[in-house]
A and B are shown apart, each in its own frame.
Chain A
Amino acid sequence: MEQPILSIQNATKLYGGELVSSPKTIVALDRFSLDIYESQAKIITIAGESGSGKTTLANLVLGFLNCTSGMISYKGIDLAKMTRDQRRMYRKEVQAIFQDPYEVYNPFYRVSHIFNMVVRHFKLAKNMREAESLIEEAMKVVGLRSEEILEKYPHQLSGGQRQRVMVGRAYMLHPRLIVADEPVSAVDASLRAMILDIMLRLRNQQKISFLYITHDLSTAYQISDAMYVLFQGTTVERGVTSKIIENPKHPYVQELIDSIPVPDPKIKWDTNISLPSEEEMRKKTSVGCRFYPRCPKRMDICIQAFPEMVKVDEDHEVACYLYQ
């Protein structure tokens, strides 16, 4: 039985709860579990709106935050207990691409600084020539020409070019997993395909898995294999992406898919929806389903306890009392 290379088990992140400063506990992420196997490279979507916990999950996986409870382990080693050398190995094998392609560049340095930093601190090359050829190769993979890009300053490139350079940087380390936190949200709709295409190629040719974090289900449908939909920290539906999108079970996922603007002027949104005027404050974990205030199909049982995951199809599970 193959062991997962990355294993997230019931990862939970809570904020607040201190007696004096912030008595209200905010549940950023609630018992999230996910396993990634090395043998099958997959693009796994973590979908949700802002406040769903997807960014928290990214920060946990990247080691910027520690879990309040639960565990994340890589190759069997608990992230929170890694030694410095193990951490270094982890940093090499798990990389990231972020949403804002401008912020991630130090405006003081040229674009080449990004690559030089990586080459130096991961000791990827023995000499300058080797380093140069590595960088050259990475640029080719993302479809850019080194001589046009490397000597420029970040503000002289377009958003799409900057983001591609970032992918090139991540690729150069030959990681096993890339956490892509909304990699195309800040790029024009017509240019997103370019970056998504690179991600697909990296999965197919280099066998790199992706954690694709997004709120855009249409791009998720185009490129990802599996999907986890989050709502206010809880996992509401998970499984094979195409099954979830073509046949959404959870009312929240149905609402998400309905809200995607259809590019056909003859088919408009059918009903006007409104968000509840009372923005629900996050309560302690003992309360039931988070979607209750907005759910058109809610029942009394929904606020009593959080619904368990139920299998509705092969590789398709939902956390909703409608299917118990």
Chain B
Amino acid sequence: MAIAEKTNPETKARRKLNIWDSPWLNPKFMIGCGIILFITLFGLLGPFFWDTKLAYTASSPTNLPPMWMEKGSPEHPLGTESNGRDILASLIVGVPSSLKVGVLAAVIGMGIGVVLGSIAGYMGGWVDHLIRTLADSVLIIPSLAVLIAIASYVQFPDTTMLALVLAMFAWAGPTRLVRSQVLTLRERGYIRMALLSNVPTLEIMFSEMMPNMLPWLAASLAGTISGAILAATGLEALGLGPTRIPSLGMTINYAMTSSALVRGMVWWWLPPIIALIIIFTGFFMMTIGLDEIANPRLRGYGNAK
């Protein structure tokens, strides 16, 4: 039965537009990715353009205002703070530090969450009960309070330790969410087909279910990273984070302890906050863009019915 479809150049040109139909090219998602990419490059490439040693104490003259105010100098465009740190350098060092903590904590937390959530959702029974109870118990604990308690006792040597401790709390939410996703997907017709095709359980979970959860997992990951960065920054701002590297939170902490607010040193406390806002906005845009991608879209044009 011949299908009457002409393949003249016009049709071919229209077919090329096909890739723009791809659901991943959602504007909000793209903007979000763009922002995160920008801020990551800022942190990664910054050291090639600016001397990061200026981020350390007593490396620069103190209390210089930014260059557009009087007494400022182009050598320190964003000014310096009372310990002799250059603000711009602090940003260049601080942004990757915050991102690293967030990503590490989120990846580990989500990783555990995906594995446990999938097992709980798919297996059901006592395994499900066990994992659910564990996750619920962790969720109930007021994580910030406990983190503060831990941080007061233990001096975090570096950001990796901080990330691991944050991951200890970050896994519980994803576990519950992945579990409910798996419970939904488990009833789908194609899972039955896989069962009838003798596909082993592990492969069903990773080959059949996981790809359908991808946009949703990505959104969840973006959200978890934001949450981890927020928690880490919160701890650092309270002075409980690792003190060696001037992360964004630490800068805020120094600003607070040195009464920068009262002294009107806007250029000290504002830049790290703006950097954080940019980071959170970027992840937020990614999340809502991914939400749109993940939700069942209107069916495509090739569909019958």
Contact = CB atoms under 8 A, between A and B. Distances in A.
Interface in B283-305: 299-300, 302-305
Given A91-B197, A104-B193, A148-B3, 7 more contacts: A64-B195, A98-B192, A100-B189, A108-B212, A109-B211, A117-B197, A121-B198
A88 B195 CA distance: 11
A112 B116 CA distance: 31
B194 interface: yes
Contacts of B299: 155
A204 to B, nearest CB: 24
Interface string A250-274: 0000000000000000000000000
Contact of B192 (A64, A118, A122, A148): A64
21 contacts: A64-B195, A91-B196, A91-B198, A96-B196, A98-B189, A100-B189, A104-B189, A104-B190, A104-B192, A105-B193, A106-B190, A107-B212, A114-B193, A117-B193, A117-B197, A117-B199, A118-B197, A121-B197, A155-B302, A155-B303, A156-B300
Contacts of B303: 155-156
A159 interface: yes
B196 A95 contact: yes
B128 interface: no
A108 B304 contact: no
A266 B74 CA distance: 96
Interface in A155-188: 155-159
Interface residues of A, number: 28
A62 interface: yes
Interface in B162-189: 188-189
Interface string B185-222: 00011101111111100000000100110000000000
Given A95-B196, A114-B193, A122-B197, A158 B212 contact: no
Interface string A105-138: 1111100001001100110000000000000000
A187 to B, nearest CB: 10
B9 to A, nearest CB: 23
A103 B188 contact: yes
Nearest to B194: A117
Contacts of B194: 106, 117
Contacts of A106: 190, 194, 208, 211-212
A28 B193 CA distance: 23
A310 B240 CA distance: 84
Among B192, B195, B198, B300, residue most surrounded by chain A Cβ atoms (within 10 Å)? B198
A51 B248 CA distance: 63
Among B196, B208, B212, B300, residue most surrounded by chain A Cβ atoms (within 10 Å)? B196
B168 to A, nearest CB: 33
